[in-house]
Amino acid sequence: MNTLNTSTLAALEELLQNTARSAPQDFLSIHFLGGTKPGQVIGHINPDFIPYLQESLAKKPIDHLNMTHNHLTIAAAKPLDLSVSLAKLADRMRQGGFIPGWRHEQFAWIDQDGHAYFQLERSAFRTFGFRSMATHINGYTRAGNIWLGRRSENKPTDPGKLDNLAAGGISSNETPWVCARRELWEEAGVPSHISDLIQPIGRIHMCRPIPNRGFHDEQLFIYDLELIESFIPTNHDGEVSGFIEIPFSEAAARILADEFTSDAAFVTADFILRQYRA
């Protein structure tokens, strides 16, 4: 295993202590009156979006939604009805220019008990600060190298940044395991007989405000996958411009040089630290 000095390991540890940051105080909270914890805060809205949203809902209310100067409230209702109402709200925000990169893909908002209460366009989740879910897979070799993908320059989020071997959002009605194997094939060309060997590790809760966007709140489901030395990743979906295979020590240096996406930096730092703790 290549060597990391004490200061680098300490820097990675410090990075992982800051995975979850609270929403800024001037962000408007979104309260949900349904579920097992009625009134819980499930989202946050950037203050730059608030005047447009208030004016829109004042002119044309949407069922199950109520906005005051202090918060936006989502009423208790059937998941299908909530999904319809929130889709209308997201469409208005899209028309106002507050939801870039519309994906035509549905995410589900799931509570702490695993129940889905509504589905919504993926790109709207950050605008409203709803908690989403994603999978990240560390691809590594026994020789002590890690495979990393470089995001396409055409990606609306973090273009050109380094990412894990594969990573992606968990769509509605999809499990983390299914998502991980799908992303491994689409992004890195990993066939099913290899992706069957992914090892579930745990999850990281990631929260941070996104400048000029919204609030990113996501549960990252982490998997490790040991690859044979002869395996070469190949992208199939156009979302990755290329791959590099580098030692753990170089990956750590690139994390600290801010070459990674925020999510992949946390996941890779966690992976490296686990190797050195073993």
Q: What is the pTM of this model?
A: 0.93
Percentage of the chain modeled with pLDDT above 90: 90
CA 89, CA 62: separation in Å to the nearest integer? Answer: 7
Same domain for 66 and 163, yes or no, is: no
Q: What is the DSSP letter of 37?
A: S
Per-residue pLDDT, 165: 98
Q: 71-74 and 65-67 as β-strands: parallel, antiparallel, unpaired?
A: antiparallel
Q: Nearest-5° angle of CA 267, CA 226, CA 185?
A: 80
State whether residue 255 is helix, strand or coil.
helix
Q: Considering the chain, what is the average pLDDT of its residues?
A: 95
pLDDT at 154: 86
Q: What is the pLDDT of residues 66-80, one digit of tens each?
A: 999 899 999 999 999
- 32 shares its domain with 160: no
Please give the Cα distance from 252 to 123 (Å, whole number).
30
| 92 and 205 both lie in a single domain | no
Same-domain status, 224 and 100: no
Angle (CA) 250 141 19, round 5°: 55
Asked if the model's pLDDT at residue 100 lies above 90, the reply is no
Last residue of a domain, one of 128, 151, 174: 128
Nearest to 87 by CA among 71, 109, 67: 109
* 102, 163: one domain: no
Q: Is residue 204 part of a domain?
A: yes
- Residue 1: pLDDT band with limits 50, 70, 90: low
For residue 111, pLDDT beyond 80: yes
The domain spanning residue 120 has which CATH number? Answer: 3.30.750.160
Of the candidates 71, 100, 128, which is a domain's last residue? 128
Q: What is the pLDDT of residue 201?
A: 97
Average pLDDT over residues 199-221: 94
How far apart are the two ends of the chain, measured CA to CA in Å? 12
Tell whether the model's pLDDT for residue 203 goes beyond 90.
yes
One-character DSSP codes across 68-133: -SSEEEE----HHHHHHHHHHHHHHHHHTT-S-S----EEEEE-TTS-EEEEEETTHHHHHT-EEE
Length in residues, the chain: 278
Beginning with the edge strand found earlier in the chain, give each strand of the sheet holding 28-32 in spatial order: 40-45, 28-32, 71-74, 65-67
The tally of domains found in the chain comes to 2
Let me know whether 46 and 116 are in one domain: yes
247-251: average pLDDT: 96
Does any domain span residue 1?
no
Tens-digit pLDDT profile for residues 136-156: 999 999 999 999 999 999 887
What residue numbers bound the domain in which 73 lies? 28-128
% of the chain with per-residue pLDDT over 70 = 99
Taking only the tens place, the pLDDT of each residue in 11-39 is: 999 999 999 999 999 999 999 999 999 99
**Distance between CA 226 and CA 182 in Å, rounded?**
17
Nearest CA among 25, 42, 39, 47 for reference residue 86:
42
Task: Quote the CA–CA distance of 105 and 102 in Å, as a whole number.
Answer: 8
Q: Which neighbouring-strand residues pair with 134?
A: 169, 220
Choose among 70, 16, 9, 11: nearest CA to 39.
70
Tokens of 218: 């996501």
Per DSSP, the three-state class of 60 is coil
pLDDT score for 158 = 85
13 with 140, same domain: the answer is yes
- Report residue 190: phi and psi, to 5°: -80, 115
CATH of the domain at 218: 3.90.79.10
**How far apart, in whole angstroms, are the C-alpha atoms of residue 160 and residue 148?**
12
Q: What average pLDDT does range 182-199 have in this prediction?
A: 97
- pLDDT tens digits along 112-124: 889 999 999 999 9
